[in-house]
Amino acid sequence: PPLAEPVTDPGGVINKPPFEMGVANLGDDCMFSNDVFLRSNDGHSIFDIATGKNINSTQEIGKKRKIEIGNHVWVGMRAAILYHTKIGDGSIVGALSLVKNVFPNNCILAGTPAKMIKKDISWSREYGAEDIAECGSQYVNLTK
């Protein structure tokens, strides 16, 4: 699906493979840095040797693999967001993070694997902003 509007992608690339096997729902007013990867599938098939069955890329498995990014989420450069991930509204994903989990609203997550490192935050597109109102009142919320 097309990216929600407005989305900031400052000359970088959002690398997302075809989503036939999964779904990526991106909220409004998100900001993506350079070289962000959204992976709703593994890209290749894996088989169980004992049974000969595909264990990672059937249509049934693929339909359950979702990426959900809330509204007003800022994703840092070279972050990789994998299937079975949900990121709540107003959150920040640190650069170079590997994200595969469920995260609440208004938090900072970072690392490999990503973990919540700070909660009860809000962010503004304006560098050097001095008033929390510049974050947008709808995005100034305590983490739930």
Catalytic residues: 44
Query: Which one-letter DSSP state was computed for residue 59?
Result: H
- Report the C-alpha gap between 110 and 92 in whole angstroms: 8
The 3-state DSSP class for residue 33 equals coil
1-23 CB burial, b ≥16 within 10 A, e <16: eeeeeeeeeeeeebebeebebbb
